[in-house]
Each structure stands twice: as C-alpha cells, then as structure tokens.
Structure 1
Amino acid sequence: MMDAKTIRKTFLEFFKSKGHEIVPSAPLVVKNDPTLMFTNAGMNQFKDYFLGNKTAEAPRVADTQKCLRVSGKHNDLEEVGIDTYHHTMFEMLGNWSFGDYFKKDAIDWAWELLTEVYKLPKDRLYVTVFEGDAGDGLEMDQEAADFWKVHIDEDRIIPASKKDNFWEMGDQGPCGPCSEIHIDLRSDEERAKVSGKSLVNEDDPLVVEIWNLVFMQFNRKADGSLETLPAQHVDTGMGFERLAMAIQGKESNYDTDVFQPMIQDLAKKSGKTYGTDEKTDIAIRVISDHIRAITFAIADGQLPSNNKAGYVIRRILRRAVRYGYTFLGFEKAFMYELVDILSDQFDEIFPEVVNQKEFIKKVVRQEEENFLRTLDNGLKIIEKFMADNAATKEIKGAEAFSLSDTYGFPLDLTELIARENGYGVDIEGYNKAMQEQKERARAASASDKGDWITVNEDDVQFIGYDNLTSDAKILRYREVSEKKKTYFQLVLDNTPFYPEGGGQVGDTGLIFSGEEKIPVKNTVKENDLIIHIVDKLPSDLEKEVKCEVNAKKRTLSMANHSATHLMHAALKEVLGDHVAQKGSLVNDKLLRFDFSHFAKMTDEEIRKVEQIVNEKIRENIVLDERRNMPIEDAKAMGATALFGEKYGDFVRVICFDPEYSIELCGGTHVQSTGNIGLFKITAETAVAAGVRRIEAITSVAAEQYVDEQEKLLASVKELLKNPKDLTKAIADLMDERTKLSKEVETLRNKELQALKDNLVGQVDAKDGVNVLIAKIAVPNAQGLKQLAFDLKAKVDNLFFVAAAEVDGKPQVAVMISDNLVEEKGLNAGQIVRELAKEIKGGGGGQPFFATAGGKDITGLDAVVAKAQEII
C-alpha cells in the first residue's frame, strides 16, 4: 500500500514525465491580492497567467499547494471533524496548462494516473461534465463528454449544473466549465443495493469527488457577460487527503497515515481510544485537522491576532483548544506537541515547518495557555446563559456578543457549544450588537472596481532600480469607488515607481502628460501588476507620459531598507541564528522590524546591534546586487529567504559583504552603506508570542533625533546650573525630593489630625445621630477620604458631610456609620448625588461612603445648607 509521501511523490513524477515543471507551493497567507486572505485553491498563484497580466515562464506546471478554507465562499469549517472528508488546511495536487494542452490531454492523463499508476478500480469511478446554462447562453460541454467516452462507459458520465460544474475565480475574471472525477468507496454489498451514480454530489461520505479538471475558456466581465479568452488554460485540483483515502482503501481521510500519527498521539495523551465514542472521535479529528492549519499559517508568517487573517487563525486554534478541554480532558496546553509530528511528516515537501518548528511550538503553546485561562470562566458563563434561557432554548444575541467581547469566544464557537447542548443562538440579536462596528468597517473597506479598459497591449516592466524617471505609455486603466471617493488605477508599460511590497511602501511622485501634472498618490502591486493610484486620468490616454518619482522619499526609504538588512544580520550575530524576520515596514521616516525572539532585548544587546550596524555603515560597503539569479545559486551563496514569501526560479540577491548580509529582496537599496549615514534604535517591544519589534531611524531622521537629544540634555544641564557630574546632580535632586515629600506628608498628616480633632468637637447629637456637616479645605482627595474614615472610627452613629476645597476644586464626601445605613435606611451614594448638584457635578459610591466632584467652588456653602436640610 502506498504511503502518503509516495502518493504525493508519484503525482509529481507522473506530471514531470509529461513535460510539466514542478513548482513549489505558494504561501498559505496571500500577499498582493486584495481579493484573498488565504490561498484557497491551487490556481491562486497563477492568477496573473489566466488574467493575461503575465506570461507563464513554463507552459506546463504541477505542484502540491497548501490551501485553507475557513471563510467566505469556500468555508468548510463547520463540516471539519463532523464528517470524514472536509478539512480547513489541505493539500491540493494540481497540473496546469497555460495556453498549451487543453481538454483531451487533461482528461487522458487524469485517467491514466488514477487507473494505471494508482491502480484505482475503473468500475468505482464516475465523471461529471457541465450540462450548460441558459442564463449564460452556454450549451453542454459535449467536447469533454466525448473525450471521456474513450475511457469510461457513457452511463458513468453525468451532466451536472452550473453550481457544481462551472468554475469561477470570483465575480469577475477567468472561468469555465469543469469536469469532476468521483470515486465510490462503499462496500460491494452497498454498491449492489444502490448505484453510486445516484450518490454523486449528494454529500455521501464514501462517494466523493477527488479531482476537478477546470477548462478556462471565458472571462466574466463586470456586467456579468462572458467573453472568450484569447488563450485557453487547464487548471486541475485533486484533494491529496481524499486521494490517500481512496488509494489506501480507507473509509475516512482521518484513517490514512496523513492523520493517524496525530490521532493516535492524541488518543494516548488523553487516555481515550479512537473509534469508540462519537464525541471523542470528533474532538480528536477536529484537533488533528486544526493544528495543521495553525502550524502552516504560522510557518508562512501569519501569527494569531485579533484582526483579519490573524483572527481567523486564532479562531481555529481556540476552537481546537475547546474541543480538547471539553471532550478529551486537556486542562493544560497540549496541541503544540503535535508540531513535532507534522515536522516529520512534511520534512521532504514543506521544509518551512521543520526550519521553524521550535518557534511554531512556542507561539501555539502561548496562545493555548492564554485561552485556557479564560476558557473555564467562559464555559461557565455559557452554562449560565443556557440555564437562563431554558424555556426558549436560545442564547440571546447580546449574550453571545458579550462572550466574544469579554472571553474571546468567537460566535462560531458559541454556536457550536450551544448546538451540542440542543440550543440555538439569536444571530439577529448578535448582529445587531455588532451592527455599528460592522457598518463602520464595511464603509471603510468597501470598494467598487470597474473593468480594466485596455489602451495599448504590451508587457509591464519595472525600471525603478536604475531610474527615477521614464517615458511610458498607458496600457490600461480602471475607475475605483471607495469610501465615497473615486480614483483611478493606471498601468504603464514601464515604470520607475516601486510598488508596495516586501515591507517597503510604494513610491509617490508625478506623471506628466503634456502640460498636465498628475500626482501619483501611491503605487501598489496586485498579483504581478504594478498599479499607480491617481485622482484623475490624462486627458489624452494615447499620449506618451513622463514619470517622475519623489526622489527625496525614495532615497530615505532606500536608506531605511538597507539598514533593515544590516540590522537583521546584526540581530542574528547578537541574539542567535533563531532570529527570523516576521514582518517589516520601511518608509522615508523609519524602519520597523518584527523578528522571532523569546525575551526582551537587554540594553547591552540593543547597544551591540547599533554598534555593529554603524560599523558596517562606516565601512561603506558597496552593494552587490544580482538580478535574475537562479534561486538554487542564491541559496548556495547562503542568501536568506523569508518564510511566507513566494520566490520564482530567478531571484534578486542583495548582498552587503558576503560574509555578513545576503538576502533575497525585491526592494530598493543604497549603492553603498555609507549612504545610510547613521543608525539609531528608538524602541524595542513585544508584538506577539515569541515575536519582538524594533523601530529604528537612519539618515536625516537619526541626525534630527541626536540633535533633539543634545538640546534636551543642554536644557537639563542649564536647569541644574551646569554641574560637572550630571548623573550625580540628578540623583541628589531625586533624593532631596524624596526626603521633602516625606516631610510634606508628615506635616499633612499632622494637619489632618488637628482638623479631625477640631471636627470631633463640632459634632451635634440629634435623635441618636451624631451629625457633623462642615466646609473644610484639605490638600488632596486621599486626605479627604482618610479624614472621613478616621472620623467614622472615632465617632459612633456618625453622619458626616464635608464640603471640601481640594487643590482649588470643589469636592463633597459623605460618610455614614454602618448601623445608620441599616437601621435608618440612609444611603451616602444617593445623598452625595443630590448634594453634587450644588457644585455642578456628580458622583456616587457605596451606601456608607460616597464622593462627588464638581465645577462650581462657590456652591460649597449651598452643599452645607442642603446637607443640614437632608438630615
């Protein structure tokens, strides 16, 4: 029986024999694509080829792609663990043709691989073809059906609807009919009773789709109409986990060697036996699935957090922790230990897990421990809510919102727990509680993009490494409406404007068209397309334009970017080789660098990093830049590649001394380190579990910083009469201040004691109540409180009201003996609120003691008079 590693290897070797180039998986976390948060299909990294923005370097490629489906259109989260064939993170085996072969070869090779190489039984396979759609004016895909007839009986070819057999990238973009391959894994007895044909696409756990062959023929325009693509493509995706189930003769993905090592480890740790209890089994499956998604997301640079992609990862992790806590009895962190198993499983195909294993484990462990601290309380709150709503069997929306807001329980986790106990959740009420916040977020992010309007056909070239100006022609443009504003996106045939990426912000500058001067507000990258953001278009779009980058901002950004490379190398030297970049920001004002490290840097470590970087700056090391270098040669040089980045076959290498700093980088850099001028770290803080952040400045900003510090130091010296030893002078001043503060405190205590003794003599006994109402002055609010409690301890049956001037402001305090509160129903909080009206203020407190502040100090006499009326 083939193991999982052999199944994957066989797929890649098969398509390599068919002339396909084997390419690495794109990162799980998507960059430079505003339409996606995570890679959810194998084709994501090839979108530009389908869109025509870029020409494929190889017309045939194959790979295994890490995918994540937990939100949006593709959301399998609720099925994970409940059934046996859905997953959050999964591998998608795929082969692609970019304008090369089409339906016949795709179908022939799929059949050959499944039946002749993997030896899957032909009588258990079914295929579907697109049946056509009147709304789109499309007929049945008879071409695909005819190619299938060569291999499979016609009664096993099933026409299927647009919903199941027409693939679209999104609301707009390339699309086309598809043909799915399904396998019937039921026993011979079950197959004899019911035909597998009737169970295709009916969610039967043993009649499942394993491969989808997509034939990209059309482009969906913004108005919904279809146009034929100039080149036709093939995009296939086969679920690796389902394929393993079919080849290994299992009835569940979780019974394959993809999941069994983790499942058995979890069962052993929890003292359970997998396969004996449904709830326990679901919990083990959920955890085994979720830890894969969490591990690969962290390996690709996405840390758990409270927003966007980070929040999705945190939700998945907390969902798994809750299953372990409730059903497996794990009250301490446990999932992080499963990373070791994953590391062994993927060492040959996804080395990013192996290389960051310890870092991933520490992040997962801290996230587990943080959530476990609140989980027990949160579960008790849910139990209370269910008890309170036993009659309706529905948790109120506001209650579900409070669980999310206070205890970090995502709504889907609350729904899950409620469903397990036969309850529902008032989703409408929850949404109402979130409505204002969601509306603001939606308004902030909403955008409406029109179709691209093509002006000229040509390739896009970036020339900004060597030039800050260029003459260019407009290739295409589109109008975008966002946040009630309209702007335009321009694409040029060549551009010196650097598009935002690799942490470096996009260039700004000007585009000249004749006498027109059009500011470029930003430059961004969408997939591989360089887009210039402008408020208006040139009046003549056919006319050649002149581009001019803001040279000052670019120069300062380059200094900060090169300093980031020098600092990265210095951090490794000072802290250790475990340091790895986890995020960065580079602009003309500062650099910000996130890196893996598990302790706050000491002052000495920070000084050492600064010292090393400034030494490298003074050495004036000349930049050794190598463009279009084969990636294997770059790796052989020892170039640092960043986890979570997608690199092609040819890369750009930035080297400042081959013995010191070599990195793969697409950003802009100084020609020699001396151009950086000066480097200064301004902050070192924590970002997340195992991640620290440094902020630093260079060049002009660093000079200004030093100048400001010198001015500040000069001012301090002048204030202290220019002492010879400034440190000693400040220490002496602080000692003197401490001594004087103690003396002042002693004097204030004496004054309060004298005031207390004086007030005791003014007590007026009325009907068993010792009334003391006075207008006084005290140094601070703490003194007023202390006076009230001292009087309470000294005088029985006390009713005390102080109309006090505290540091020039009016304040009222009411103190009532406990027995008067109980016997006579007096309430200091209610009384002080009434008295506060006289000083135009408000306050409150407990029944025996309350305070209030106000704005009108002239009302203190009125406070005294009203207090006497009240008592």
Structure 2
Amino acid sequence: MKSQDVRKQFLDFFESKGHLIVPSAPIVLKDDPTLMFNNSGMAQFKEYFLGNGTPKSKRIADTQKCLRVSGKHNDLEEVGIDTYHHTMFEMLGNWSFGDYFKKEAINWAWELLTEVYKIPKDILYVSVFEGNPAENVPFDQEAYDIWKTLISEDRIILGNKKDNFWEMGDQGPCGPCSEIHVDIRSAEEKALVSGKSLVNNDHPHVVEIWNNVFMEFNRKADGSLEKLPAQHVDTGMGFERLCMVLQGVQSNYDTDVFTPIIQHIEKITGSKYTIKAKDEAEEKINIAIRVIADHVRAVAFAIADGQLPSNTGAGYVIRRILRRAIRYGFTFLNTKEAFIYKLVETLSSQMGSSFPEIISQKNLVMNVIREEENSFLRTLDQGLQLLESVIKSTEGTTVSGQKAFELYDTFGFPIDLTALILRERNLELDEAGFDKAMLEQKTRSRAASEVSTEDWVTLIPGNVETFVGYDQAENEVKITRYRKIDSKKDGILYQIVLDKTPFYPEGGGQVGDKGTLVCSASSLSLGSANETIEIIDTKKENNLILHFAKNLPENINDSFVAKVNQDLRSLSARNHSATHLMHQALRSILGTHVEQKGSLVNPNYLRFDFSHFAKMTDTELEQVEDFVNARIQEQLPLVERRNIPFKQAVEEGAMALFGEKYGDTVRAIKFGESMELCGGIHVKNTAEIWHFKIVSEGAVAAGIRRIEAITSDAVKAYFETQEDTLTEVKNALKNPQDVMKAVHSLQDENAKLKSQIEALMKDKVKNLKAELTSQLQEINGVQFLSKQVDLSPEGAKDLAYELGNLEKNLFLVLATAEDEKPMLSCYISKELVAEKNLNAGTVVRELGKFIQGGGGGQPFFATAGGKNVAGIQEALAKAVNFVK
C-alpha cells in the first residue's frame, strides 16, 4: 500500500466515525512559549485540553507534522543510527474532547488496524497502565477489560509509568495510555524469542505504532493528581512506522516515504544504499544516507513554516539538524560541495499534495539550505585547520576536551568529527573534559532560563476571557485566575487573567501592551485600598491572555479598571500599520514573490523580514519610502472586518502568511489597496503615522532581506538628530556658505596628504629593507630576524613581503607600536612552511600572549594585535625559539 493511500485510509476511516478532518498545524509554534516546535499530534489542541477554548468539533482527526530532537526514545545524535526514529515525522491522530472515551478509542483502533489495514492479529501486542500506588493512580482495569474482548490476554502487557502514563509536562492534563506494538520479525526469530519480551526494549522490528492516551487527571504543582471534569482521548500513530508494516519492509527508510529521497542522494553522491550492509564501511554509508534523508525533511518543512536557521532558539535547532546532515555527507559520502538543497525538489513532488506549503515555498527553502550548506562547508574547512593547530600543540596522545569544546562551541565543528580525525592520527580525545565543558554550558543556559510555576488559583470558575482591546483601551475588569512564577531571569512575577481585557497580547510580531490595573470606584467605595498594579507585559499562552505583574492587588476580588498605556500602544499601532503599507510597497516595487517572513513591531521601530534574492538598491529603497508616505498623505481610513470566513477573505485578496495558524473566521485589515489578515492593533487613519523612514536594509539569510524603519515621533527625533549633526559639521568647517563644497575640498586635501605619506613610507621601507637584510642571522638553515620597526602595520606587511622576495628560507617577526597599539607580523617563506612544518598563525598566537592579544592568518603570513606595548621586546626575544 502506497503511503498516500495509508494516510487517506486513516482519515477516511475516522471521518466515517464522525470526526472532522483538519489540516496539520505548522511545525513551528508561535503562540506557545513552552514549546519550540509541534512535537506531538496534540500540541495544536492544548488549549482545548486545558479548557481555554472550544474546538470546532468534539471529534477531530488529522495528520500532524512533528519535529522532535529529544524525548523518551529519541535523541538527535541517534537518528539515522537505527531505522525507526526520526527528527520530523507524521503523527496520525484522532481526538475526543469530552465525547467518547476508552471503549470507542480502543475498538476503533483495533478495527482500523486489523479490518481496514488487515494487519494480522497475531503480530500485535497491546499494553495498559499497571498503576502507581505511590501516586495513588490505579491499574487501568477498564482498558484491560476492553482489550480482553479483542485479543488474548497473553498479548496484553502491563506497562509502568515511564511507558504507559502520559503527561503534558510537570503540570497539567495527564492520564494512562494504551500502546499498540507490532512484531515484524521473521518466523525463525519469533520461534527463538517471544515478541512480548521485546516490547519497549528498542528492538528495531518490535515497535510501537499507536498510542491511545486517556486524559483523566490534572497534575498539580505539588505533584498530586485530581480528576478532570471532562475526559478526553488523544491518540497518535506513527505514519512512517505504519507504512513500514503495511509495505512489508524491515525499516522505515525502505518505505516509499523515504526511498525517492534516498535514490536522489545516491544519484547525486554516487553512493549506494544497501538494505543489509555487509561490512562496517557499507553501514557508515547507510547511516549517512539515512541521516540526510531524515534531516532534509525536518529542515525543509521548518523553513517552509517560517523558521530560518540561526544561532539562537528554534533557529539553532534547525541549523544543528542541517549541519549534522552536511557533516555526514562531508565525512562519509565525500561531498565537498552543497547538494542537500537539491533534495527539496523530490520532497516537494512527493509530499506537496498533502502539505502544499512545501511546493509554494520550494524556492525559498532551496536557497536557504544551499546558503547554509556553503557556509558550513567553509566552517568545516576552517575547523580542520584549527584542529590541526590543536593537534600540533598537544603534548602526548590525548587532546584537551576543553580545546575540542571550543572548536565545537565557537566554530560549530562537530565533536564526532573531531574524535574521528583524532583516531585516524592515533590520538585520543579527553571525552570527560569535553563532557564537563558541555555540562557547564548547559547548566549556565538552564539556570538562565529556569522557571518554576505554581498552580492556577481560580477566582471565577468557568469564566471565558474576552478581548475588547480593538474597541477599548480602558474598561472595568475582574481577576478570574492568577498564578505565581519564579524565573531565574526576571525573579518572582504573577500571571493574571482578566474576564475582559483591553490589553493586546504579544503576537503577529507586535509586542504586548503595558499599563495598569487601578482599583475601581465601586471597590473604593467599599473601603478597598487605592492601589495601582503595573502590568509590565502581556502574552498569550494556550489561548489565555496573561498579564504579567510584579505583585498582586491587596484584595484580588476587587473590581479594577484596566488601563492600557495609550502612548506606547499608539506608537506600536503606527509602526504596525506602516508595516502593512511597506509590505504592499515591496510587492508593488520588487514583485509579488515578496512575502513576509517575520516581523517585530514595538513603540520604537519596526522590523520586517521578507523573501527577496538581491540587495535592494538605493533607488528601490527610496521608491518604497515614497510609496508608503504617499499612502500616509492620502489619509486612508482603516477598514476593519472581523469574523469573516477565511476562504472568503483570501478570495477577496487578503494576504495570508505561511506558517501562521488561522481559524475558520479571521480579521482583515485594509488601508486602500493593502489588505492583510491580522490580529494586531492599527491606526484609524494612515495620517496618524505622520512619516515613514527606512533606516537599514540587509540580509538575514539566503533569499531573506530585513528592513528596519521608523515612523511618527521616531522620525521627528531622527530628523532633529540629522539637523544637529549638520550644524556640528558646519561649525567644524568654520560655517562655509557651501557645506558640500567645503567637504569635497577637505577630501581632496586629505587624498593628497595620504599620497605623500605613502610615498614617504615606500622610501622608508626601501631604506629599512637594505638595513634589515644585513641583520639577518642564519639559524639551522633559516634566515631569522625579529625586530621592532617604526612603521604602520601596513608598512610592516609591505616590508615583510619585500624581504620575502629577496630571501629564501626567511623567518621574520616585525613589531610595530603605532598610536601605542602593539602589532606583531610574522612572515615565513613557503619553503619553510612545507619543509619545517612552521605556521605563521601558530607563531603570532603564541607571541601575541606577551602583548596581551592574539590573532591569526595564513601559514606564511599572520598578524596579532594586543594592548601591552611593554611586552613587545619579550615577544621578539621568544621568536627565535621557533627556529632553534
């Protein structure tokens, strides 16, 4: 059965059982601070399980793109080593929100597997939760009794808390689960060892394919459990593993989910993937191909959903996954040029019908991956040189783990590649030292981000929060619930939920509102304290609007007046509306290929990332400014439409952003011909923006440009600063009538003086060349000299090359101290670099310590700068040690 048919039959089956079929949410999460990526099928439904929202249907089914690089059975460094774990995978799921429960979920799972997919019953095992007296959670007798009617009891396994009790996190909904495992071993293997003993023991051919989670409890902050008011079903079936079973193969990578990509890798690299490797060399190639086939899927879909590789957060995870794939190709498939980006073509043709974003974003994805590949291949080349320096400076046979960690941490040089190269050179890696350095870094990072959260204290049960901020910036409110959080970064804070809030929560690029909660007049009349609580930020989490404060009101049951800081909100609104106008301008001037790829809107400025493959010219930037300012001058009124069907809004021309999760109904914002789907705060008329000014334009990644711009008060301040600067320039030039003429005259005069200085320096270099030639010493066949010279660093370089052209076997160290800034320059004849294994970079790094600095360069010429002029003579004295 083809994978497309496997997916379709699952969705058709649950549709026949009354489930609403919904599309996959983006793999990149934007409104859940607890997760970087959608790592399970239930992630997009968390708000329903928490009771913070109402689903479109009580029964839902889907296939969800997931990305997981850590967890129960999965670590990034293990993916590709085995044949059944992945970074990105599809999770087929059916969901019940307070509707059906264990009986229906178990019976339908069995019906689909054995009657629709026709998997033989005698290769299936199931597990149920055995209970945990320590946490007062009983044995799941109900699930056990249901399974007894479907399968013999010797195929029912009692599972512990680790394997058969699911939790959303340290707190929140949780419950027992019932897994379904399949044994696809040969008859001979089954005769030797029972499949039952291999369940949950990481056997490649006895694997879990489906997990039915029964959410019955809520985990509180103290670890205790309480029954949920409504019981839910959350199931997940591994699509790739299911295809393996139905296609009769022994590896996920042998299914048609992966074989087209693997065949493309073989074609590009000239490598051969063998189902059963006959030796270690073949297995290394197999692993490399599996790694690349898996990782390109994860990276491509993450980029398509809006997450670019970067050095922080979710972007770093994507970069790390891609670099692992590049490294495996570099080491084991001998690929020294970018090639992984070419696989996106196969991926888009294979999965585009189910996930159209991989088709529409194909060019962007390919360009970003190609640029990342080229960049990291350069890093690998540089890392190899640096590792060579580390090896040369190593005494004995063990290389410092700290040095290896510096290569890994600073240059992204993979530790497994370091270890491989060292083994080839008969050297060992101090793995304990590396692990210690890595642990110290992780501990620092964890300590900086650690947050402990207490349980919610509910004041008004069942209250549904309402956002009124589009129409009001101030209104009377009640606190419905609150909780205390302790953050290592920010200290103790309180998250407050209001019954109806005017505060806009961070989202869509716009920062959250700030403001106050002030005790209302009605509460004051009852004798409440006249106090003001500062709201320092507003965010959204699992459909709840959270107001952050450093303290709680004295009487939390009072009524309050919620007041948004209108000055800050107004500035943000101007920048947000200007962002829409700029998006329209870019598409009009550069072309309709321009799409928003990220934004930041705050009171001070706006930042806008967009797809475009060339640096914008000054003329194009000027045209964008003129376009936006023309719309401001037209005084276009805001046309806002709320709760219109998503499909209708798009058909009417509204821009929808890839990677965003939209509901069935949306809000459309229109200024003239600009129309976008947006939940942010906007001006009532473009005239409020006053003026728009671009302050910078540059690259973020391959095919992604970034513009930063200002409006309103910031533009006024910008022009005032420019005027002040011009006044200072005039004063410095003695107030000439024509400022530019005076500047050009000064430039001409400066150029003439520079020319004269260069001529004088050339004469000085010639004179020094003759003088220094006579001072050369021959040591061990090397022409050696170390000396301080009265030249600029550039002059010292010229002098070094001049002497190098005259003398063979030259080892020269020159020091300069122009403007009290010490600089060492080392020149080594290329013959010495090759014959005596000398390296100018190594020399200046060692000698640079004496001037409290460092540097580097090429093997034949390198420089080091520092700050200790007094150390120059000691550095020059030590230089001779390199040739003695």
Return the TM-score normalized by structure 1. Answer: 0.85
Residue 631 (1) aligns with residue 646 (2): yes
Q: Deviations over 1:180-210 (max 9, x none)?
A: 1112222344334443323222222222111
Q: Say how many residue pairs are matched.
A: 818
Change (3 A) 1:713 1:851: closer
The residue number in structure 2 matching 1:530 is 545
Q: Aligned equivalents of 2:424 and 2:108: distance in 1?
A: 45
Cα distance between partner residues in 2 of 1:442 and 1:741: 54
Distance of aligned partners of 1:543 and 1:729 in 2 relative to their CA distance in 1, 3 Å threshold: same
Q: Which residue of 1 aligns with 2:68?
A: 69
CA gap of 1:417–1:644, structure 2 versus 1, over 3 A, is farther
What is the match of residue 474 of structure 1? 479
The 5 A counterparts of 1:347-496 are 347-376=352-381, 378=383, 396-411=400-415, 426-434=430-438, 437-457=441-461, 458-483=463-488, 485-496=491-502
Instruction: Give the residue type in structure 1 aligned to 2:139.
Output: M
CA separation of 1:419 and 1:480: change in aligned 2, threshold 3 A: farther
Is 2:131 the counterpart of 1:132? yes
**Letter of the 1:645 counterpart:** E
- Which of 314, 317, 321 is 2:319 aligned to? 314
- 575 and 73 in structure 1: CA distance in 2 versus 1, 3 angstrom threshold: farther
Aligned twin of 2:172: 173
Counterpart-to-counterpart distance in 2, 1:377 and 1:699: 47
- How big is the shift at 1:179? 0.5
Report the residue type matching 2:513 in the other structure.
D
The range that moved more, 516-525 or 27-36, is: 27-36
Aligned to 1:305: 310
- The reply on whether 1:681 has 2:687 as its aligned counterpart is no
In structure 1, the partner of 2:579 is 564
Question: Does structure 2 conserve the Cα–Cα contact (< 8 Å) formed by 1:448 and 1:482?
Answer: yes
Matches of 1:733 and 1:11, distance apart in 2:
77
2:719 pairs, out of 693, 706, 712, with 706
CA distance in 2, matches of 1:612, 1:814: 52
2:652 aligned with 1:648: no
Worse-superposed segment, 36-45 or 783-792: 783-792
Alignment of 1:336 onto 2:341: yes
Instruction: Please list the CA deviations of residues 625-647 of structure 1 after superposition, one character each: whole Å capped at 9, or x if unmatched.
Output: 12222211122123222222222
Where structure 1 has 5 or more consecutive residues not aligned to the other structure, the ranges are: 764-775, 795-801, 819-839, 861-871
- Within 1, Cα distance between the matches of 2:10 and 2:611? 35
Residue number in structure 2 paired with 1:797? none
Q: 1:238 to 1:486 in 2, by over 3 A?
A: same
Aligned amino acid, residue 141 of structure 1: D
Letter in 2 for 1:558: A
Please give the residue correspondences for 1:198-277 in structure 2 after superposition, counting only pairs within 5 Å: 198-275=197-274, 277=282
Structure 2 CA distance for partners of 1:428 and 1:172, relative to 1, 3 Å: farther
Report the Cα distance in structure 2 between the residues aligned to 1:791 and 1:119, rounded to whole angstroms: 83
Give the deviation of 1:413 after TM superposition: 5.9
Distance in 1 (alpha carbons) for counterparts of 2:3 and 2:652: 33
1:47 aligns to 2:53 (yes or no): no
Moved more, 782-791 or 175-184: 782-791
Aligned to 1:772: none
Q: Which residue of 2 is the match for residue 56 of structure 1?
A: 55
8 Å contact from structure 2 (residues 494, 552) kept in 1: yes
Q: Distance between the aligned counterparts of 2:557 and 2:300, measured in 1?
A: 50
Does the 8 Å contact 2:607/2:707 carry over to 1?
yes
* Counterpart secondary structure, 1:93: strand
C-alpha displacement of 1:343: 0.5
Larger Rg: 1
Quote the RMSD (CA, aligned, Å). 4.3
3-state SS of paired residue (2:536): strand
Matched, 1:540 2:555: yes
Please identify, of 553-562 and 593-602, the stretch whose mean Cα deviation from structure 2 is larger. Answer: 593-602
CA change 1:346–1:707 in 2 (3 A) is same
Change (3 A) 1:624 1:417: farther
Name the aligned partner's letter for residue 210 of structure 1: I
Give the equivalent residue in structure 1 for 2:621: 606
Once the two structures are overlaid, the 10-residue window that deviates more, 738-747 or 235-244, is: 738-747
- Of 141-150 and 584-593, more deviation after overlay is shown by 141-150
Equivalent position to 1:586, from 561, 581, 601? 601
**Would you say 1:503 and 2:518 are equivalent positions?**
no
Confirm or deny: 8 A CA contact 2:642 2:666 kept in the other structure: yes
More displaced stretch, 425-434 vs 700-709: 425-434
Distance (Å, rounded) in 1 between the aligned partners of 2:372 and 2:823? 47
Contact 2:797 2:825 (8 Å CA) reproduced: no
User: Which residue, out of 684, 702, 709, partners 1:696?
Assistant: 709
Change (3 A) 1:756 1:289: closer
Cα distance between partner residues in 1 of 2:117 and 2:204? 21
For the 8 Å contact 1:32–1:526, the answer to whether it is kept is yes
- Residue deviations 1:406-439 (CA, integer Å, cap 9, x gap): 5412446656888999998545412443566545
> How much has 1:366 moved relative to structure 2?
1.1
Compare 432-441 and 517-526 and name the one that shifted more: 432-441
* CA displacement 1:5-33 (0-9 Å, x = unmatched): 12112211221222211122122122232
SS in 2 for 1:75: coil
- CA contact under 8 A between 1:780 and 1:806: conserved in structure 2? yes
CA distance in 2, matches of 1:154, 1:791: 89
Q: CA deviation at 1:34?
A: 2.5
Offset at residue 523 of structure 1 (A): 0.8
- C-alpha displacement at 1:493, in angstroms? 1.0
Query: Which is worse superposed, 77-86 or 167-176?
Result: 77-86
Partner of 2:778: none
Alignment pair present for 1:512 and 2:518? yes
Residue 835 of structure 1: aligned partner: none
Q: Distance in 1 between matches of 2:218 and 2:178?
A: 18
Secondary structure of the 1:120 match is coil
Q: Which of 713-722 and 173-182 deviates more?
A: 713-722
- Native 8 Å contact 1:22 1:62 kept in 2: yes
Question: How far 1:536 moved relative to its partner?
Answer: 0.8
Could you tell me whether the CA contact under 8 Å between 2:792 and 2:816 is conserved in 1?
A: no
Shift of 1:619: 1.6
2:117–2:246 Cα contact (<8 Å) kept? yes
Q: How many angstroms does 1:751 deviate by? A: 9.8
1:319 touches 1:413 (CA, 8 Å); kept in 2?
no
Residue identity opposite 1:282 in structure 2: I
In structure 1, the residue corresponding to 2:285 is in which secondary structure?
helix
Go from structure 1 to structure 2 and tell me whether the alpha carbon gap of 1:713 and 1:340 turns closer, same or farther (over 3 Å shift): same
SS of match in other structure, 2:135: coil
Separation in structure 2 between the aligned mates of residue 78 and residue 750 of structure 1, nearest angstrom: 60
Once the two structures are overlaid, the 10-residue window that deviates more, 414-423 or 503-512, is 414-423
Q: 1:325 aligns with which of 312, 323, 330?
A: 330
2:578 aligned partner, one-letter code = A
Check conservation: 1:811, 1:852, Cα contact below 8 A. Answer: yes
The structural deviation recorded for 1:266 is 1.3
Q: Is the deviation greater in 66-75 or in 204-213?
A: 66-75
Q: 1:841 to 1:93 in 2, by over 3 A?
A: closer
Q: What SS does the aligned partner of 1:470 have?
A: strand
Cα distance, 1:212 vs structure 2 = 0.4
Inter-CA distance 373–121: structure 2 relative to 1 (3 Å threshold): same
The offset of 1:704, in angstroms, is 2.0
Bigger mean CA offset, 253-262 vs 739-748: 739-748
Q: Give SS of 1:614's match.
A: helix
Contact 1:777 1:806 in 2 (8 A): no
CA contact (8 A) 2:408 2:415 kept: yes
Post-superposition CA distance 1:259-286 (Å, at most 9, x none): 0101111122222332153222221111
Match of 2:103 in 1: 104
